[in-house]
Amino acid sequence: MSKLRLRSLSILGLVIFLWTTEIVDQSTPQQSFDRYGIAPRQLIGLRGVVLAPFLHGGLGHLLRNTVPLLGLGWLVTQKGQWLTVSLWAGLVAGIGTWLLADGGSIHIGASGLVAGYLGYLLGRSVQDKRWPQVGGWLLLVCILVAEGPGASWHSHLFGLVGGGVAACRMWRSGEEI
């Protein structure tokens, strides 16, 4: 199997896993998985740093994350950096949300990963001095920030930062970005 095909299957596999998890979650509402999300500044809420990207508040929430996750994730996979960027984006988004988000709610969803992929692609475009691409990515950042009520801007902001950090670390270490 070619590397390109394997990379493409990795993002598709993630999306299939997210949909399977949400369908199971919706099938057992008395045992909602959402409680395993990020509970800011509570020790038990740290488990959500790892689990929150896999949890969604319904099929509509998951659908809103699926399209950009597939598109941006596919672009990131083409350079072979999907796992590294996902880890940086997920961890920075999760820890930032745990530290600074409002304490009265549970934070869930893959939008921190989406923002991380966007931050990585933006960072790559800046490093490569591809200014038209930078403009396009910045437009998408504005759309992401304006997502609407109920969305965790903390996850978006810190995911974007995590993706940017991944791009900078790979650039500095001389890895192909």
**Percent of the chain surpassing pLDDT 90:** 65
SS3 38: strand
Answer with the residue of higher pLDDT: 80 or 53.
Answer: 53
CA distance 120 to 48: 23
Q: Which two tokens stand for residue 5?
A: 């095909």
Residue 148 confidence (pLDDT): 61
CA distance 142 to 123: 16
Residue 129 confidence (pLDDT): 86
CB 120 within 8 A of CB 89: yes
Q: Is the pLDDT of residue 134 over 70?
A: yes
Mean pLDDT of 103-128: 92
Residue 34 confidence (pLDDT): 94
Structural domains of the chain, ranges and CATH numbers in brackets? 3-173 (1.20.1540.10)
Residue 177 confidence (pLDDT): 40
Mean pLDDT of 61-84: 91
**Percent of the chain surpassing pLDDT 70:** 93
Mean pLDDT check: name the lowest of 8-17, 53-62, 74-83: 74-83
DSSP one-letter string for 101-164: S-TTS-B--SHHHHHHHHHHHHHHHHHTT-HHHHHHHHHHHHHHHT--TT--HHHHHHHHHHHH
CA distance 139 to 133: 10
Q: Is the pLDDT of residue 172 over 80?
A: no
Q: Is the pLDDT of residue 141 over 90?
A: no
